[in-house]
Amino acid sequence: MRTVQLFGMMPSGVRHSILGLDGIYDCVEHIPAGVDYGVLPAPSARSFLGMGRYMAELLDTQRPDAVMTYNWGSIEMVLGARKRGFAPLIHHEDGFGPEEAQRFLRRRIWLRRLLLRSATKIAVPSRNLRDLATRLWKQPADKVCFLPNGVDLQRFHPGSAVDRPVVLGHVAHLRPEKNQRLLLEAFSKTPSRAVCRLRIVGDGTERLGLERLAQQLGVSELVDFVGSVADTAPVYHEMDVFVLSSDTEQMPLTVLEAMASGLPVVSTDVGDVRAMVHESNRDFMSPTADATALARHLERLIVDAELRQAIGLHNRGHCEAKYAKGACYQAWIEFYRQVIGW
């Protein structure tokens, strides 16, 4: 979503050729009007080296002026660019899948060390990723550029106060690395859960299992599985506390959206979340897989409306000062301009 929004800020005359290696092109519908783009067909399954050859041949055919690759899933394009000595190549790392949520795979560490040497720059939206790229993947510090994500402060803003039970909210794809099972377990351990609702916005492969778990934990009557929502901005107005239970994150956009919406955040201590929130919110981080700690933080905010409101106001102000979309995205555009030479 950040990428397609940045398309709309790039100079006129730029054309984008988009290759989704998994064949999923859902974000294309969000590309701003007037952007010149085309979609390349996803390649059939090949071996790692075979995919690298395919990417090298694609570069020969397309002859782009620059290539941008995203996350581990695009590493074969980095290999193809290395084979052809192609530059400029900007590699983006935004986070990791469930297979690297707890530990990094040795083969991937070595391949990143080797192949990312050929990248012109590496763009990351979190300090944690910047540290990983330099320390674990052995990339030069001057190659790794930290560019934080931004949030639309007009679209995401505090809602009006309403008289209703406290709502704990969660917005995410329902995938294993998001660990909504931990969220349900923590909710079931929260003493004041009976006067709350847990609202889970999103859909995915974990949904049926999560619905069964809610029944097993005896909280199904208190949990709303909302499903996918086209526009998530209004859903934050129906929440009092935002909860993140992921095993791995870097700089999650949903946390920025919740902060901009004037909400306190309870989260597992992953990626840059602790650094993202206002200092008044930093005591509400818990270790991954610790449902008891997560429940303790939830309980503290459930019973203290003034604390919720105070932290929410601090988070909104922090977003205004640090994460306004216009300034953050303009920094991305300036970065691209310098590397690509527009």
d(CA 216, CA 211): 9
Are residues 143 and 243 part of one domain? no
Cis, bond preceding 287 (omega within 30 deg of 0) = no
Neighbouring residues of 22: CB distance < 8 A, sequence distance ≥ 6: 42, 73
**pTM of the model as a whole:** 0.87
What CATH number should be reported for the domain holding residue 258? 3.40.50.2000
Can you tell me whether residue 253 is helix, strand or coil?
helix
Q: How far is CA 283 from CA 146, 192, 268, 286, 304, in A?
A: 25, 20, 11, 8, 15
What single-letter amino acid sits at 75?
Answer: I
Question: In a 10 Å sphere around its CB, with 0-12 CB exposed, 13-18 middle and 19+ buried, how is residue 1 labelled?
Answer: exposed
Per-residue pLDDT of the chain (342 residues; tens, 9 = 90+): 899 999 999 998 999 999 999 898 988 999 999 999 999 999 998 999 999 999 999 999 999 999 999 999 999 999 999 999 999 999 999 988 888 877 899 999 999 999 999 999 999 999 999 999 999 999 999 999 999 999 999 999 999 888 899 999 999 999 999 999 999 999 999 999 999 999 999 999 999 999 999 999 999 999 999 999 989 999 999 999 999 999 999 999 999 999 999 999 999 999 999 999 999 999 999 999 999 999 999 999 999 999 999 999 999 999 999 999 999 999 999 999 999 988
Are residues 170 and 318 part of one domain? yes
Q: Tell me whether strands 223-227 and 15-19 are parallel, antiparallel or unpaired.
A: unpaired
How many separate domains does the chain show?
2
What single-letter amino acid sits at 205?
Answer: T
Q: Which domain holds residue 289?
A: 166-322
Can you tell me whether residue 45 is helix, strand or coil?
coil
d(CA 122, CA 283): 32
| Residue 88: HSE in the Cβ half-sphere, 13 Å Cα cutoff | 16
> Would you say residue 188 lies in a domain?
yes
Are residues 316 and 170 part of one domain? yes
Are residues 65 and 146 part of one domain? yes
Are residues 329 and 299 part of one domain? no
